Every structure is written in C-alpha cells, then in structure tokens.
Amino acid sequence: MSLDKATIRRVATLARIEVPDAELEATATKLSGILSWIAQLSEVNTDDVLPMSGGTDLKLPWRADVINDGGIVDKVLANAPEAQDGFFSVPKVVE
C-alpha cells in the first residue's frame, strides 16, 4: 500500500502529531513499508494453528494483607529533610 502526502497529513492531524512538510515524503515511505509488512502477515496460513491459551488458567499466589512499617523507619526517615517522633515533619500549609 502506498501512501501519499495528503494521507500522511490527514493521519497526522487525526493522531494530533506534527509532521513538518519536509518530512512528509519520508514519513509516507516509512508508513507504506509498515503497511506492506502487515499485508504480508495476513498472507500467512494459520488454519492449523491453535489459538493461544493466554494466562487465564493461571492463579496468582495470595499473600497475607499485613500492615507493617517495613522495619526500616530509620532508613526512610534518613531521607527526610526533617523528622519528628518517627514521622516526616512538614511545614503547616493551612492557616
């Protein structure tokens, strides 16, 4: 499939991207190549190929939903500009 400059301009407008006039020809060539490659894929015979099963049969392991502080309070607070009583200290923002 061969695309012209007008088609590229229209696609760029729909995609909300800016393609400078100087790059329209090169972009048309690249997109035409991509569409030709996609057309080649449609020619592949997939009659005897079974569909992929996907990950629907897999079960994710569950873990206990336990609240904890991670055991590294001192390391976390070492990154804070200011800490007080084991918490981040921030300036008052509401008067």
pLDDT tens digits, residue range 30-73?
999 999 999 998 889 988 888 776 666 677 889 888 888 788 88
Length of the chain: 95
pLDDT tens digits, residue range 1-40?
688 999 999 999 999 999 999 999 999 999 999 999 999 9
Q: What's the pTM?
A: 0.48
Amino acid residing at 63: R
Q: Residue 20 burial by CB count (10 A; 0-12/13-18/19+): exposed, middle or buried?
A: exposed
Q: How many CB atoms lie within 10 A of CB 28?
A: 20
Listed by start position, the domains of the chain span: 5-42
Q: Measured between alpha carbons, how far is 15 from 63 in angstroms, rounded to an integer? A: 43
Could you say which DSSP state residue 81 is in? S
